[in-house]
Structure 1
Amino acid sequence: MAGQSAGATSVACLMVADRARGSLHRAILHSAVNACAPVGHAARTTAEVAAAGGVPAARAGLLAALIHRHHP
């Protein structure tokens, strides 16, 4: 699944939605828009995405998940 701008934000929301769990395995986000989200909300979303990927909620963890998925 992929999205650009508001579509990227929608894709990000779907990736962490409970009802979509297991349906989506990869996403490409380009210029996600959500300047109104509080920092705490962004941190929670990052934590949920990282947990779903089984990696730490940090840049290195998220990058490791990408490398692991594409280069076993």
Structure 2
Amino acid sequence: MKEEMYELRTEDLSNSKLYNEDLAPTTIKQRTWDTYHFLSLWVGMSFSIPTFMLASGLISIGMNWGSAGKSRILQ
């Protein structure tokens, strides 16, 4: 399967009053993320949610917030 990349023409978008340079789509040259970047983002996001769930669960069963916060190193 051939992988193709598409890019929007900014001259078509910049005429709109809703266009904003900060929110404009990236060009192909600006796309620098590779597999490692996406994997790192996914791993980082997957560790944060279970950590907060563990700490909140420990707080709900009676542990104080300081001790529950230190339990993150148990993972």
TM-score range, shorter chain: under 0.3
- TM score, norm. by length of structure 2: 0.25
Structure whose residues are more often strand by fraction: 1
Structure whose residues are more often helix by fraction: 2
- TM score, norm. by length of structure 1: 0.26
- Higher RCO structure (Cα 8 Å, ≥6 apart): 1
